[in-house]
Structure 1
């Protein structure tokens, strides 16, 4: 089986040439389009998550041989979490080649963070099954690139850091409020306000509640740490 022109171009962006093209086709096939003659990418996603985790654990140990587990764990989480996988997927325009059912296409599935992250993990598994662990490691290290060396010493997400800041001062957890929601149903934009019981607050706007909450928490952390 030969890859389509779109998937061949994607393979070049990915930096890996498949000996078994069917693996890549399965990796980009979402469950919304499955049929008796077509497998989706869920099982590959499960495997790819584990391959990515092992590669990142190895890379972090090599990058900082003296780092204790307390620093390695948040760095690891920052590199393998959904947002990081989705960012890498956008970097290689994975969304453009996803095979989606009609309902997912109408709802903006090619831009959905969860779909992009899952498909990225599935692609990693496809490389692993096609070329082995060394091939998967090389692809991951190339795609994640400077993210590995530049990951913050304290890579906890902003919401966690803000909650710990509040708890350390005897405050109740921060409150997150949806101030506004605009845009079409398939591509909403959220404005979220985060408030501390002691008074300070900040707002942020993003294409998902999660991103807006994180951005608001990050802004508030900067304010209270001044």
Structure 2
């Protein structure tokens, strides 16, 4: 196997890792907010945050193009700041993967924080700890297994993202071609052996990650 074979694998892992970091931070923060606070419109807001989980990938890809395309305000701002468009770049693949993976991290984080003993947090605040100290030293450690499971699920989901990535980031070999798009191209060109190799690699990574998720879920319960 030459270096070109490994390019989609390396890109997929890199894209998924960056996307997982983004959704870990955002999903943990929002999961905490939705676990402990009641506010008007909460049900609607949570429904909107969970939409990427059920929307067709083509719809997500379309919405990303409309939102970050060259004719949109965010698209024009990105072009002004960075001298180019976001579409058909590795960062477009990161954004598409982060969007589809976010609901998994959000739900895991919310479930983890719902399981934290509020009396324990309250006692720490009575003893003089700030909200930030309580969050970092009590809430995060107690929800850590759920957060770890969410991060692994998010990485796995990002690794398997195809439709939105193909529409928004394209399929440029060595630049935006991930494992799923490489499999698609290999099958389209009749190279079933190449597709089989990528499928095996993808399944192996997914099995390891899902095994770790099961481990953290068992520890959590």
TM surpasses 0.5: no
What is the TM-score of this pair, normalised by structure 2? 0.30
**Greater relative contact order (CA < 8 Å, ≥ 6 in sequence):** 2
What is the TM-score of this pair, normalised by structure 1? 0.30
Give 1 or 2: higher helix fraction: 2
Give 1 or 2: higher strand fraction: 1
